[in-house]
Structure 1
Amino acid sequence: MIKTSELWSKEVINVVDGRKLGMIEDVEINLKVGKIDSVIIPGRSGLLGFFGGTQDLVIEWNQIEKIGEDVILVKVENFLEPDHQKRQNR
């Protein structure tokens, strides 16, 4: 068993491409069943967060592959950062 407070000290890594996604900032809990539905990683923003909006990354609990001592391994297929998606749409 793991405490939710322990999730905040671990780096989240996508096993699909090895990318560091960041640190968990929040969790979404299903109060009806008392389980975590997803974890939330804050979106990256521009210079000191002043330029451009950010979009948080929500990772469903079933996408978590392994919770280790130092990292959390997740499997997020076809992940593109919001800034990368904007560049592709131009």
Structure 2
Amino acid sequence: MEVSYYSINNLRAMEIIDINSGVKLGYIKDLKIDTLDCKVLAIILPSQKMSWFGKNTDIEIPWDKVKKIGLDVILVDGSEFIMDKS
């Protein structure tokens, strides 16, 4: 298996897309990192919906849900993180 390395700036510029529905989830806001094991635990996306009092809850997608990192997109299995648009 070929190992690829990406800078944080490169990852933040890539759009996150759900592989199940094709929905664009946005761009990475932050990363959750295990500093002891030097591993990324999750990607954090800004919430698509603001609450009544202006607070928003970010979407945290575990790293094991990342399926493929392409040239300009990151494909994730985000079916449980997508809010119902109806």
Q: TM-score, normalised by structure 2?
A: 0.81
Q: How big is the shift at 1:78?
A: 3.2
Q: How big is the shift at 1:44?
A: 2.0
Give the alignment's Cα RMSD to 1 decimal. 2.3
1:58 counterpart = 2:66: no
Of 3, 6, 26, the match for 2:7: 3
1:67 counterpart = 2:69: yes
The number of equivalent residue pairs is: 82
The question of whether the paired residues in 2 share the 8 Å contact of 1:45 and 1:52 is answered with: no
Partner of 2:46: 42
Tell me, in whole angstroms, the C-alpha distance in 2 between the residues paired with 1:7 and 1:15.
Answer: 17
Partner of 2:32: 28
Q: How big is the shift at 1:62?
A: 0.7
Q: In structure 1, the residue corresponding to 2:55 is in which secondary structure?
A: coil
Of structures 1 and 2, the larger Rg is shown by 1
Q: Give the number of the structure whose residues are more often helix, by fraction.
A: 1
Q: Give the aligned residue type for 1:7.
A: L
Q: TM-score, normalised by structure 1?
A: 0.77
Tell me, in whole angstroms, the C-alpha distance in 2 between the residues paired with 1:19 and 1:32.
Answer: 34
Deviating above 4 A after TM superposition, structure 1's stretches of 4 or more consecutive aligned residues are 49-52
Tell me, in whole angstroms, the C-alpha distance in 2 between the residues paired with 1:21 and 1:12.
Answer: 5
Gaps of 5+ in 2: none
Tell me, in whole angstroms, the C-alpha distance in 2 between the residues paired with 1:9 and 1:32.
Answer: 26
